[in-house]
């Protein structure tokens, strides 16, 4: 009973968030349409074709060189990353946010000329990218390359930053800990499914809110809850054997699964990622001594 009450409370927030997403310019630098994409987590379970058009990018940093594979089944993110690489967009930018046993983040253009101690992480090219969450095909295993984004409260569509990315370092989990991850995964699926259903009733929600029809809103919410639970119970997302093996033997950040677009992975130079992960950082998770991207190039 307690778990359901907690989930229902979160649904009240989700309905408001879905309503807010249909307003004008809901987030900084957001040129997104009002198309709902929160249901991507369930829709893309088997929707994407095989990865036949991947690309490779070599990243030279002040602490060494590593190579990433960009997945062919996240083409918007692949093409955008390749475009920025070819333009030299990332050259001179910093790894501005590093958290040990979690991830290293880069891609803020404001970091090129940043002063020591300057807060970073808000910069970008002036646009965002539609979410391409291919879960559980792509997940947050160690070495995963994913797109940073603004939080759900201002970005319920989970649109990605136009340039900022992170590489997962993560940690290993015990099998028993994955049981809790499974419950979290169900909660994320419930939330995403409800958000999608609520977005389909935005005009109705607005009318009832304007009229102060709290009874009507409560009845609609109860209906959407029943529909949500039926959908999730019919096709529940579960940790795959591949995910269980990766998280227990290699590590990662499973709490991010289904919420961010994973669009590639490190295929060479993971030791360089480990070196970057271990640098000293300040209270804002910025390295005390700058770790800079010297250049990137697309490999033939």
pLDDT tens figures, 65-81: 999 999 999 999 999 99
Range of 290's domain?
Answer: 2-299
pLDDT in tens, 140-168: 999 999 999 998 888 888 999 999 999 99
Residue 7 neighbours by CB distance under 10 Å: 18
CA 219 from chain center: how many Å? 32
CA distance 195 to 215: 20
pLDDT of residue 120: 95
Which two tokens mark 80? Answer: 């955008």
CA distance 250 to 205: 45
Element (H, E) at 230: helix 214-234
Residues in the chain: 300
Whichever domain contains 210, its CATH number is 2.40.100.10
Please check the confidence at residue 263 and state whether its pLDDT lies above 70. yes
Lowest-confidence segment of 11-15, 85-89, 122-126, 224-228 by average pLDDT: 11-15
Asked whether 256 and 146 are in contact (CB, 8 A), the reply is yes
Asked whether 70 and 79 are in contact (CB, 8 A), the reply is no
Closest CA to 61 of 101, 107, 99: 107
Angle between helical axes of 2-20 and 214-234 (0-180°, round to 10): 110
pLDDT range class, residue 133, cuts 50, 70, 90: very high
pLDDT range class, residue 22, cuts 50, 70, 90: very low
Please check the confidence at residue 20 and state whether its pLDDT lies above 60. no
CA 95 from chain center: how many Å? 18
Which two tokens mark 27? Answer: 């987030």
Domain count, the chain: 1
Which two tokens mark 175? Answer: 């099998």
**Mean pLDDT across 40-69:** 73
**Mean pLDDT across 181-205:** 85
Beta strands in the chain (DSSP E): 55-61, 64-70, 95-99, 103-106, 128-129, 144-147, 160-161, 165-168, 262-268, 293-299
User: Average pLDDT of the chain?
Assistant: 85
Question: With helix as H, strand as E and coil as C, how does 122-166 read?
Answer: CCCCCCEECCCCCCCCCCCECCEEEECCCCCCCCCCCCEECCCEE
Token pair 């295929």: residue: 267
């Amino acid at each position: 009973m307690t778990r359901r009450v907690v989930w229902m409370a979160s649904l009240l927030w989700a309905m408001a968030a879905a309503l807010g997403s249909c307003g004008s310019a809901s987030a900084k630098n957001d040129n997104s349409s009002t198309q709902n994409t929160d249901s991507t987590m369930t829709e893309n379970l088997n929707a994407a074709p095989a990865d036949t058009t991947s690309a490779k990018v070599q990243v030279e940093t002040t602490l060494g060189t590593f190579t990433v594979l960009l997945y062919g089944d996240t083409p918007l993110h692949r093409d955008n990353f390749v475009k920025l690489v070819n333009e030299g967009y990332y050259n001179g930018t910093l790894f501005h946010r590093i958290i040990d046993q979690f991830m290293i983040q880069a891609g803020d253009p404001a970091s090129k000329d940043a002063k020591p101690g300057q807060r970073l992480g808000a910069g970008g090219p002036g646009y965002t990218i539609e979410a391409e969450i291919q879960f559980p095909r792509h997940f947050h295993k160690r070495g995963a390359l994913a797109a940073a984004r603004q939080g759900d409260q201002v970005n319920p569509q989970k649109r990605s930053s136009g340039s900022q990315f992170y590489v997962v370092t993560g940690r290993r989990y015990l099998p028993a800990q994955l049981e809790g991850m499974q419950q979290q995964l169900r909660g994320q699926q419930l939330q995403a499914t409800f958000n999608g259903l609520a977005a389909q009733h935005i005009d109705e929600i607005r009318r009832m809110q304007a009229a102060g029809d709290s009874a009507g809103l409560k009845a609609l919410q109860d209906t959407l809850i029943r529909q949500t639970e039926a959908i999730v119970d019919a096709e529940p997302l579960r940790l795959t054997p591949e995910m269980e093996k990766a998280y227990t033997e290699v590590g990662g950040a499973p709490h991010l699964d289904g919420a961010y677009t994973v669009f590639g992975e490190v295929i060479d130079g993971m030791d360089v990622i480990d070196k970057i992960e271990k640098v000293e950082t300040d209270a804002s998770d910025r390295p005390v001594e700058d770790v800079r991207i010297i250049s990137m190039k697309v490999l033939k």
